[in-house]
Each structure stands twice: as C-alpha cells, then as structure tokens.
Amino acid sequence: MFDIQEIRSQFSILNREVNGKPLVYLDNAATSQKPNSVLEVWNEYYTELNANVHRGIHTLSQLATEEMELSRRKIQKFINAKNDFEVIFTKGTTEGLNLISYILTSKLKQGDEIIISYLEHHSNIVPWQLLCDRTGAKLRVIPIDENGILQLDYLDQFLSEKTKVVSVNQVSNALGIVNPIEEIIAKTRANSNAYIVIDGAQSAPHFSIDVQALDCDFFVFSGHKMYAPMGTGILYGKQEILEDLPPFHGGGEMIAVCSFDGTTYAGLPFKYEAGTPNVGGNIALGAAVDFMNKIGHQNIQNHENALLDYAQKQLLKIDGLKVYGENANRTGVVSFNLEGVGISSDVGMILDKMGVAVRTGHHCTQPIMDFFNIAGTVRASFAVYNTFEEIDLLAEGVKKAQRMLS
C-alpha cells in the first residue's frame, strides 16, 4: 500500500510555513528533505555512539564501527555491488568524480580522449577538463538535439583506441532526461577499453540501481538527494580497478605501514577513505536506504512518474510556457520558462511568496542553457512525499507570475 499521507507524516519540515503559506517543497533535485527515521539515527550516533571508527578497542568505537560498516553493506545491496569493499564513502557526487579523475591521471597521456555529454553537471565537466590539463588528453562532447536527447551517432564516431574514459550522467539534473546508459556502455565496451563512469546523483533517488548489470567501472551518487544528510555520498568501483589505481588522499586510515622510508596502503575500501569519515552521516545514509526500501523502489518510481506526467500536463495548459525536454524520457524534473519573462529567478521569487520552493538559474549546467540560448530555467523537481495538490499550487503560482511579469 502506498499511503502518501503516512509518508508525509514522516517529514516534520513539511508541516512548516513559508511566507505565511504551507511549504510546497519542489527543489528535490538540489536536495531532498529528510525523514524523521534518518534524523533520529543521525542524532542517536552523536548522543549515544559518538566515537571514531576502525581505530579503537573501546566499546563506543566498536559499536560505531559496526554501525557504519552495516550501512556500507546496506548500500552494497542498494546498488547490487559484488563486494561491500567496492563501496567507498565520500562527501558526495562531486568528490567522487574528482576522486576518479585524479586517480586516473597516470592512465592517460597526450592525445588520449575523454568522452562526456552536453547534459552533464559542471561536476562531470570540470574534473575531466582538469585531467586533460594534467595529461594533454582531449575532451569530446556528445551533442544533444532540440529535445535534449543525446545524439549517440556521435558517440559511435568518437569511440576509438584513443578513448580512455567515458563519463555520463544517468539522469540530467537540469532537464530530468534519462539517458540510455545501457546502450552507451555497450557501445563503449564494443569499441574501446575505456573506463566507464556513471553519475547517478539524479537516478539513485528515483529508481533501482544494479551496477553489476550495468557493467560500469564506477558509479557515484550523493546521499543528500535521497533523504540522507548532506556531506554523504558513495563511489562504487570494480575491485580490480580500485586495487590497480593509486589513492586520492593521504593520511590516517588508508595506510598499512607508514615510515619515513615509504608507505604501503591499506586494502579496500580504506585505501580511499583517508582521515576521519562522516560517521554519523554515513550511518544515516544507511537509514535513508532503509526508508526507501520500506516504501519500495517501484512505488517511488511510479508515484514520481505520475507526478511528472501530471505536472507537465498542468503546466502546458498555460499559454506561452515552454517545457525543455518535453518529448524526452524523463524522471523527477520539469524545467520550463514563460514566454516574455526574461529572468527565471523572478518567477521563482513569486512562487516563494506563495510557499512554493523551486530552483531557478542554470542549475550548474551552463552548456545546456547555452544550447537553448537561455540564461536559465525554472525547475520543479519531485520526491516521494510530493502530491498532486502541490502541483496544482505550482501551476497556480506560475499563472500568477505570468500575470505579474508579462
């Protein structure tokens, strides 16, 4: 049974008002709200278990270690990784992508190529540009069409023995477009020996992930977009690849033996987890997985897809409103502008006065905005606790903004 009111009752923040209006939170692609069960686990760590992990023989350290490693195993199952030590705790997607681009430095040279797409967040552009700067490699970009859909014929043209990395997102944060990563991975495997990196920041919250079935080399995502605290995230990497590559950070936890003559590194996952981790956040990330598992991935996906379909239909009834990626396969996001309204933030401010929280601007995807020749969009993004009534309030607010700004 999918009981939306029971789900909403687990999010205390949804009871608050903003500018005298009930909060309608539609900025979930930026960060989701956190259920009480996750907040309770996070609070319990600091009030009952607070200790550093993996280093102490005392009781609190042992208990904290057990809880964090239990969370790692929950995440292993969540993404169907083969081994729990292939699951690396990070601060989020951005750190994961930077980590990967850094440790691959020795694997690239002048003339090699890295393929990304036009739909990438800046965090899946800039780290690869930095890698190109370090190595002399060249960046190649899969273009999009007028619907925001990747033109994979270009991928066929780009792939060669020079291709060393292919890194794409599974879902666009700006447009909500679901990319055909299975096809991208198959093409890459057939035509190169490239490392395949998948940015799952906007897919992990919305549908089930199976990294073994995908056969990607790396998969990264953030906890805070899937009901966990900020400062949490996951990097999945295949065992043989992570064992072959060098560490990212140096410090405590990631060493086997350290001396002034040299250092040998700990095994996985600790090789990539230098320093004190975000223990409370990492444990709470496991609680967020529990929350999603209890509702069911298919139930989450079905509800959010119904919300998206309803939102697009209601918004397109408004004369002069354009939805970007309208005809593409999408999830979780509707991104739009009003004809004659030049600044998307003006729409966002009017919606905020009505208690409706959306995101406006370029969404850290300036190349997409340049492609459509716009400065930004209004983006409404959905989570499991959103309702059809909230979408009606969104549409009402957009109509009011249109009247005020046109």
CB 37 within 8 Å of CB 11: no
Question: What DSSP designation does 49 have?
Answer: I
CB 239 within 8 Å of CB 86: yes
Q: Identify the CA nearest to 85 among candidates 238, 196, 257.
A: 238
Q: Identify the CA nearest to 361 among candidates 335, 333, 386, 338.
A: 335
Token pair of 123 as six digits: 């965090």
CB 229 within 8 Å of CB 42: yes
Neighbours of 327 (CB within 10 A): 11
What separation, in Å, do the N-terminal and C-terminal C-alpha atoms of the chain show? 44
Q: Which residues are catalytic?
A: 364
What's the CA gap between 275 and 155, in Å, rounded? 39
Report the DSSP pairing between strands 255-259 and 262-265: antiparallel
**Residue 129 CB partners (closer than 8 Å, separation 6+):** 139
